[in-house]
Structure 1
Amino acid sequence: MTPITQQPRYDEIAIGTELPEHTFTVRRGDLVRYAGASGDFNEIHWSERVATAVGLPNVIAHGMLTMAQAGRVVTDWIGDPGGLLEYGVRFSSPVVVPDDDQGAEVRVGGRVTEKRDNNEVVVAITANSGEAKVLTRATAVVRLP
């Protein structure tokens, strides 16, 4: 992801302002690295046999990894991770990660839906993998200069 060159300013942002969309690729190796970093070694994130035995279509990405990718789009947009005041999501569909060199793509974008006092804006986040919406009720509250 290319870092932004100028942080958005509250007085220049309008309701409806779109955040730059970004596409993340998630491969099985990424899941192994995330498992090591997070301590989440649940077998549904690396064993196709276990994932399909519990009714999943295949190995799935960690929900928190997907959430982190979506949050990164917001913090990259504001240029300051410390400006993120609130962040929440609901997981609606898993990111299915095939065992190939292509992996899965997660497309993340957002739109300003509200301006508040104290230079705060609310961002509605969208995240999709294939045709599936993988996050719902995904919102962030950020403070802008």
Structure 2
Amino acid sequence: MSGIGQMEVGETLPVIQLEPVSRLDLIKYAGASGDFNPIHTIDAEAEHAGLPGIIAHGMWTMGNLAKLFTPYLGEGFIETYSIRFKGMVFLGDVVSLEAKLKEKDSEKQIFDVEAVNQDGKKVLAGSLAFAVLKNQPPAAQGS
């Protein structure tokens, strides 16, 4: 497969496996996003909320999905996401990101996307629209 625009319905992008989720990942994400809910960074607060430990921000997981499409940004851009959170992501979890082409036309490709933990449990699922850029005419040659 030479590019995302040449994909056929049913084909998948290469799976990306993230590094195990670390406390530092979540602290950095809290600072970047402004989401300082302590269930994402403080063990005692997560336990007080009835959780077995701190959990990753759902939007951290969702944001990582963009990594699937980063190699193809010269061909287009992510236009929309539609995501449902299916499960929690805990410290140490290894999340795999997957995308399968569901529909396509000359301007847009629709992918089914999901994130799956090391136990094969979906933690996120949905769809993503990738807008394909029109071909640019070749640059004019100098004399």
TM-score, length basis structure 1:
0.81
Say which structure, 1 or 2, has more relative contact order (CA 8 Å, 6+ apart): 1
**Is residue 88–residue 139 contact of structure 1 (8 Å, CA) maintained in 2?**
yes
How many aligned residue pairs are there? 131
State which of 48, 54, 58 in structure 1 corresponds to 2:53. 58
Aligned residue for 1:84?
A: 78
- Structure 1's consecutive aligned runs of 4 or more residues displaced over 4 angstroms after TM superposition are none
Residue 38 of structure 1 and its aligned partner are, at CA, apart by 1.0
Q: Give the distance between the partners of 1:51 and 1:57, measured in 2 at CA.
A: 7
Q: CA RMSD in A?
A: 2.0
- Checking the alignment, whether the CA contact within 8 Å between 1:17 and 1:112 is kept in structure 2 is yes
* Residue 72 of structure 1, CA deviation: 2.2
1:111 counterpart (100, 105, 118):
100
Task: Give matches, 1:100-139, under 5 Å.
Answer: 103-116=92-105, 118-131=106-119, 132-136=121-125, 138-139=126-127
- Contact 1:93 1:133 (C-alpha < 8 Å) held by counterparts: yes
Deviation of 1:104 (Å)? 2.1
CA distance in 2, matches of 1:31, 1:109: 22
Residue 4 of structure 2 corresponds to residue 8 of structure 1: yes
* Closer/same/farther in 2, CA of residues 81 and 127 from structure 1, 3 Å limit: farther
Q: Residue type of the partner of 1:93?
A: G
Distance 1:15-1:82 versus aligned 2 partners, 3 A rule: closer
Consecutive unaligned residues of structure 1, counting only runs of 5 or more, are 1-5, 98-102
Q: What secondary structure is seen at the aligned counterpart in 2 of 1:58? A: coil
TM-score (norm 2): 0.82
SS in 1 for 2:18: strand
Aligned match for 1:34, one of 29, 32, 39: 29
* Unpaired runs of at least 5, structure 2: 134-143
Letter of the structure 2 residue corresponding to residue 109 of structure 1 = E
CA deviations 1:72-110 (Å, max 9, x no partner) are 21x22422496211112111111011xxxxx22110011
* Higher normalized strand content (fraction of residues): 1
Closer, same or farther: CA 38–55 of 1 in aligned 2, 3 Å: same
